[in-house]
Amino acid sequence: MDPNQNANQEKTAALLASLWLRNRPLVEERLATLDRAASCAAAGALEEELREEAADTAHKLAGSLGMYGYDEGTRLARQLELLLDYPTPDPAQIRALATQLRSSLFPEA
């Protein structure tokens, strides 16, 4: 392997790791929005505004997680987005996908 190519890959990986750490609080905030939507849906109280906010949040996560190498996170966020596009999404599915998404991003938690 070309030493310059290896050095560039290492720099790119370090930059992405740094960006991930800087953006982690935003990602956690977005996950909290999805958790709140799941809890409200389970209680039968998922209001339209929160459902739309959660769908938008899932869309943002789906669009950004792949950049950091979280392909599974992107897939799960996309499923959540599609689910939350329905006026009355299944609460159990919201909870399951939100939990899986969090675990795929933060397995240590």
What secondary structure letter does DSSP report for 67? G
Spatial separation of the C-alpha atoms in residues 62 and 97, rounded to whole Å: 13
Whole-number pLDDT of residue 40? 96
Q: Within 13 Å of residue 49, how many CA atoms lie on the same side as its CB?
A: 0
What DSSP letter does each residue of 68-108 carry, written as one string? GT-HHHHHHHHHHHHHHTSSS--HHHHHHHHHHHHHHH-TT
Whole-number pLDDT of residue 17? 87
The model's pLDDT over 27-60, given as tens digits with 9 standing for 90+, comes to 999 999 999 999 999 999 999 999 999 999 999 9
Indicate the pTM of the whole model. Answer: 0.88
Say whether pLDDT at 71 is over 80.
yes
